[in-house]
Amino acid sequence: MEDAYARSVSDVLEFFAVDATKGLKDSQVAEHGRLYGKNVLPQEESTPFWRLVLKQFDDLLVKILIAAAIVSFFLALANGETGLTAFLEPSVILMILAANAAVGVITETNAEKALEELRAYQADVATVMRNGCFSILPAADLVPGDIVEVSVGCKVPADMRMIEMLSDQLRVDQAILTGESSSVEKELETTNVTNAVYQDKTNILFSGTVVVAGRARAVVVGVGSNTAMGSIRDSMLKTEDEATPLKKKLDEFGTFLAKVIAGICVLVWIVNIGHFRDPAHGGFLQGAIHYFKIAVALAVAAIPEGLPAVVTTCLALGTKRMARLNAIVRSLPSVETLGCTTVICSDKTGTLTTNMMSVSKICVLHSINHGPVAAEYGVTGTTYAPEGVLFDNTGTQLEIPAQFHCLLHIAMCSALCNESIIQYNPEKKSYEKIGESTEVALRVLAEKIGLPGFDTMPSALDMLTKHERASYCNHYWEDQFKKVSLLEFSRDRKMMSVLCNRKHIEIMFSKGAPESILSRCTSILCNDNGSTVPLTSDIRAEIESKFHSFAGKETLRCLALALKRMPPGQQALSFDDEKDLTFIGLVGMLDPPREEVRNAILSCMTAGIRVIVVTGDNKTTAESLCRRIGAFDHLDDFTGLSYTASEFEKLPASQKTVALQRMMLFTRVEPSHKRMLVEALQHQNEVVAMTGDGVNDAPALKKADIGIAMGSGTAVAKSASDMVLADDNFATIVAAVAEGRAIYNNTKQFIRYMISSNIGEVVCIFVAALLGIPDTLVPVQLLWVNLVTDGLPATAIGFNKQDSDVMKAKPRKVNEAVVTGWLFFRYLVIGVYVGLATVAGFVWWFLYSDNGPKLPYTELMNFDSCSTRETNYPCTVFSDRHPSTVSMTVLVVVEMFNALNNLSENQSLLVIPPWSNLWLLGSIVLTMLLHILILYVEPLSILFSVSPLSWTEWTVVLYLSFPVIIIDEILKFVSRNYNGIRFNFRFRRMDLLPKREVRDK
């Protein structure tokens, strides 16, 4: 029943054919169960393991590699190869792909836990009336139409319409659903609001929320998926995981690379059609197969097989660094996403604030000796912990607050006129509340004021255990005074009173709205000497002025406290007793902002990141918090920057677009609005981070480019997020963004390194095919270079130091290419040299090496006809392993020098020396040791078709490899000093790699 809030009690009861005094009959329960289902969130079928595995192979480059492996295997069989040689290359390729798939499967299985965590917020049992009597049943057995009774501490078991109030009021904490910082008062009256949000439905009790005050009966109107909690689940199910900006750019690069590879492979095959009939091949078909194998080798060379593994490793290293900053990363790609975040949608309650109501100001009458003088005290401490001090308006700390008469009586009243409980949870190592937040704030205030009569009171309290300290002072007053009678809070009186007895003296303590208490007071307590004086109009005006200052300018939630001496022996209270009261004082409380938030938001602004505060609270409260934070001091007002959800939805489409570009505050929202906001910002090409801690935040956290949950938040929020802030510190986000930007910069460096290396391999094979010389490298050698000798230095590049000004730059655009036009040209030049040097090493061995045959160049070009003509050298020389070993070693060493080039994009090695990244030097040393291992250890040398090199051959390798440093130094010099050339080049062709202008959402 979706519109129960808009119907009268009788209409709702009639709809379900239920008598409020008897409940449903067994037959009705069975019928409603069939109609509406069980009161449980359905078990969502998890993605089958095989489907998760297959999903990891849904990538164009991966498919090309698989195809290359299969073709390689069948070509080996066609050539009569058997055993290890036939299976080696395809096996290595498939092992790499399997390792990458394993990482992807582990990451994705974590995401499905969020839906399971949502079940924890469902109530276990409920007090239900059926067949005329109450019984306690499992909450899962509830059906629409059931009459349920709830009281303080109860978790609401289903969505229910209030039908009867059994106390003066009923208040519910629904922060996990709406994010409201204060509990909400529920009522029986019908709600007539167009497009009502959860906050407007004041006669509905929502599943999973907690009753903090009062007792009432309600009729179930929604169970299972048809509850507010169920709608959150559905919203999470509809949210598809978005690819990160880096993943999108790599996918686009992969598509571009695949087209280039296909083109080159076809070109190489076509260019050599004339050689298909060469006698060395044994026929046209065999020749076609031979050059097809070269094309396959070209594909293997062009595809950076190690790229996914290196990206994953670099991101994993970033997560370790972030963990030290208290940012726990649950999804590896989110590390990089942080670097281009442009908007942070921050939940207010529990994220910018502590979500713990606390007293921050006290006002009492100090003295009337020189006219009425009101004294104002500040209170420190922003949590439920009994830690904090009081200080006067000069900033002087009160050593023993309880020696001041008004403060002492405020502590008494706060402890006695109170129905809440505060306790220490050793597992969470924090203080927790049971009951109304404002009452808990008064309990904590009583602890901060302390007890009278002990000069050593503050230090004596510090000696208690945390469990004893939680309510020590409150228990003291409860032991001193015996509670005799209670008048509960009611909406018309706006106050509550309690009658207490101490040593045959009856005293009534009252608390409530300041206007209600003041109107019933005729006298006031003085703080300096404890005397009671008449409440004159001047004194009343001064107290009211303080109240308006607290409530207006400082937007504090105010309560007034009072007492009254009652006749001896009185055992009950009536409403008539609540008059002629003695005013004690005024307290102002708030859900305080976290201390570090101001600097964190200012840092975001400096970094070009916009912060939008999103909350379920009302507009005035949220705006006052933003002003209190101090980060929005530059704003005179919030006109055009602050919207409620209903105001925003009423805007025309064009005005919504403008509003989204300027918005800084979004209030009175429910979960669907948060998700809508994220989607709308993403449609404007913003990269959105959403912070939150409640169940209500989960859909938006899942939808955002990066969801950031608080460490103290709900399990649902954590499971739906990409990152968890262990210290709940908004400032940690700033450090995480800086780390994300640094990781992206390093990621770009090793991607460029691998691109230039792979270009070199492609050029090597292509040039060899064009020249008509033997294959310089076999596929298994290419795989070794791509995975081991490329992979280790590329990973080490991820340890390049963070730039000092990383947080002064604006966020990079989401469609910014990983490799721009000028950079692609630079690395094309480097790649061409790498390829030519590799071929040169191969040719050198045949033509000039003392260990080689010293053939004329024409003989090398006509190697394929060797068997059909007279030669003064054996034809077996062309199958010697030495020339391919020289070319492979040149390729390895030249790429080690090229890795040093990637310490910085534009800075010379003279400015950023190699030892600035010791990890890179270590990886180069390790790579060379591994290469030497396969050269000089026989089983490995046979496997990789290599042989040991002489000192002369190593010297030639170094001569051919080192110039790559000089070439790149020249290109870096041009980049640093001739920006105009780079600009003109980019202007003609901004990006040689494809890029998506409009983000697909």
Separation CA 541–CA 284 (nearest Å): 108
**H or E segment and range at residue 410:** helix 405-416
Catalytic residues: 347
Only one residue has tokens 């509850």, namely: 227
Separation CA 852–CA 576 (nearest Å): 116
| Amino acid present at 330 | R
Separation CA 158–CA 147 (nearest Å): 11
Strands 665-667 and 642-644: parallel
Six-digit token pair at 849? 């090496």
Q: Which residues contact residue 962 at a Cβ distance below 8 angstroms, ignoring those fewer than 6 apart?
A: 897
**H or E segment and range at residue 971:** helix 963-977
**H or E segment and range at residue 710:** strand 706-710
Separation CA 636–CA 878 (nearest Å): 82
Separation CA 534–CA 539 (nearest Å): 9
Q: Looking at residue 712, what DSSP letter applies?
A: T
The Cα angle at residue 176 between residues 171 and 179, in degrees rounded to 5: 85
Separation CA 388–CA 410 (nearest Å): 16
Question: Number of helices (H) and strands (E), helices first, in the chain?
Answer: 37, 29
Helices (H), 437-500: 437-449, 457-462, 466-469, 472-480
853 in Cβ contact with 877 (< 8 Å): yes
Distance in Å from the first CA to the final CA of the chain: 33
Separation CA 210–CA 363 (nearest Å): 32
Give the DSSP per-residue string, 797-858: HTTPPPPTTTTTSPPPPTT--SS-HHHHHHHHHHHHHHHHHHHHHHHHHHHT-TTS----HH
Six-digit token pair at 399? 């050593």
257 in Cβ contact with 303 (< 8 Å): yes
305 in Cβ contact with 93 (< 8 Å): yes
